Amino acid sequence: MRRVAPVLALLLTVAPVAACGPDDPPRGRNTGRGAQPAPTAASSAAASPTAAPRPDGAVTVAFAGDVHFEGRTEGRLAVTPPEQALGPISAALSDADLAVLNLETAITGRGAPEPKTYTFRTSPKALDVLKDSGVDVVSLANNHAVDFGADGLTDTLAAKAASPVPVVGLGRNAKEAYAPFVTTVRGVKLAVLAASQVEDLTNQKWRAGATKPGIASALDVPALLKAVQDAKKQAPVVIVYLHWGDEGKACPTAAQTTLAKKLATAGVTAVVGTHAHTMVGSGMLGKTYVGYGFGNFLWYGTSNYPFSNETGVTTLTLTAGGKVTGEEFTPALVDDQGVPQPQTGAAAEAALKRRDGLRGCAGLAPAPAAASSAAVPSAAASTTAG
């Protein structure tokens, strides 16, 4: 069983809350640390002195789930200091060399809502807040990135172009939407790309084409595999962040497992993602790490889905050649303000045990445990209501 991350020493009150989809029910600081980005420049800052030690020639990459700045979490955009917008769990993101998550919303103040039950929007400030919270790469390949039509998509693309943090999975055309963010961190070259496998209005109507703006689609498997092949020409470490799975289901679908096997065969180092509003199994598929579902993260509302509050940060240690040498999980629970609060003690151990138990129906082997560290990050709790 993997070590519970040291950030769990932060004691906070937790309360149940939260759980996107085609028609989802209501639910709810640094960038490029040591990185030399291409093609998008990102600001550089020193890694936290409390971060776990990395073996020579290795990097740590942290992943989290779905983020909204709507409803009860809209106020997180105004939290001061901004690095506390995601709460104390952001320490687990900042302490990694690279951190990736999904922003589940259009970035616009214009446009008519698409004909779907739930539509989400936020302002470009969300990207600044995520950067300040330790996020290094943001995926917009999801079923809510184009919730406000052509005008909203135009604004979202403009926000991407001006973003302080690299955005993947959406573009002015398919070439741009499938393009990876490529960076070198601690001498390790990585490529991160994103796509959505959710069969919904967005993936049908707003899928990027040769001359059409939109999201990268994982339903077009040849296009995704071509993107992976192109990424591997640029970097030996390739990470694919997907929007996939069935809402409320803690086991992967046949579509997920089939795609995961194809990506593993293509040589992807890690294929991970979200969408189910609950955690789904994670582990090794041969040499490839697969995370079928990271759950909700910063979540705008409540849900009827069991376990939709369970969340956390998964951190992988990767070598320059693309080998996964360690996995660490920081359990958290979405509180009544929609903020993921780290769990400690018995609650953390129970969360870790349940997470490991999800691996069974996913057909995955345990990942190697991360090297232990005595360091304990410090962070202040933020209780600003969303």
- Express each pLDDT in 180-211 by its tens digit: 999 999 999 999 999 999 999 999 999 999 99
**pLDDT of 238:** 98
Q: Which residues of 165-180 are buried (b: 16+ CB within 10 A; e: fewer)?
A: bbbbbbbbebeebbbb
Tens digit of each residue's pLDDT (9 = 90 or more) over 149-159: 999 999 999 99
19: pLDDT strictly greater than 80: no
Q: What is the mean pLDDT of residues 63-74?
A: 97
Q: What is the mean pLDDT of residues 249-265?
A: 98
Which pLDDT band, with edges at 50, 70 and 90, does 304 fall under? confident
CB 40 within 8 A of CB 138: no
**pTM strictly above 0.95:** no
CB 68 within 8 A of CB 122: yes
239: pLDDT strictly greater than 50: yes
Q: Which residues of 261-291 are buried (b: 16+ CB within 10 A; e: fewer)?
A: bebbebebbbbbbbbbbbbbbbbbbeebbbb
- pLDDT top residue among 306 and 53: 306
- pLDDT top residue among 32 and 300: 300
286: pLDDT strictly greater than 50: yes
**pLDDT of 303:** 77
Mutual orientation of helices 221-234 and 254-265 as an angle, nearest 10°? 30
Q: What is the mean pLDDT of residues 140-154?
A: 98
**In 163-315, which ranges are continuous DSSP H helix?**
174-178, 201-205, 221-234, 254-265
Q: What is the mean pLDDT of residues 96-102?
A: 98
- Mean model confidence pLDDT for the chain: 86
**pLDDT of 305:** 81
287's tokens: 């040499």
Helix (H, G, I), strand (E, B) or coil at 188: strand
Q: What is the mean pLDDT of residues 79-86?
A: 95
Q: What is the mean pLDDT of residues 66-87?
A: 96
30: pLDDT strictly greater than 60: no
The answer to which of 55-64, 167-176, 322-331, 351-360 has the lowest mean pLDDT is: 55-64
Which pLDDT band, with edges at 50, 70 and 90, does 301 fall under? confident
**pLDDT of 57:** 83
**pLDDT of 372:** 58
Q: What is the mean pLDDT of residues 238-261?
A: 97
377: pLDDT strictly greater than 50: no
**pLDDT of 107:** 98
50: pLDDT strictly greater than 50: no
φ, ψ of residue 73 to 5 degrees: the values are -100, 0
Q: How far apart are CA 146 and CA 105, in angstroms?
A: 8
27: pLDDT strictly greater than 60: no
3: pLDDT strictly greater than 80: no
Which pLDDT band, with edges at 50, 70 and 90, does 386 fall under? very low
Residue spans per domain, the chain = 6-362
**pLDDT of 29:** 33
- Cα 163–chain centre separation: 17
The answer to which of 34-43, 136-145, 289-298 has the lowest mean pLDDT is: 34-43
28: pLDDT strictly greater than 90: no
Percentage of the chain surpassing pLDDT 90?
79
239's tokens: 């990470």
169: pLDDT strictly greater than 80: yes
What topology does CATH give the domain 6-362? Purple Acid Phosphatase; chain A, domain 2 (3.60.21)
321: pLDDT strictly greater than 80: yes
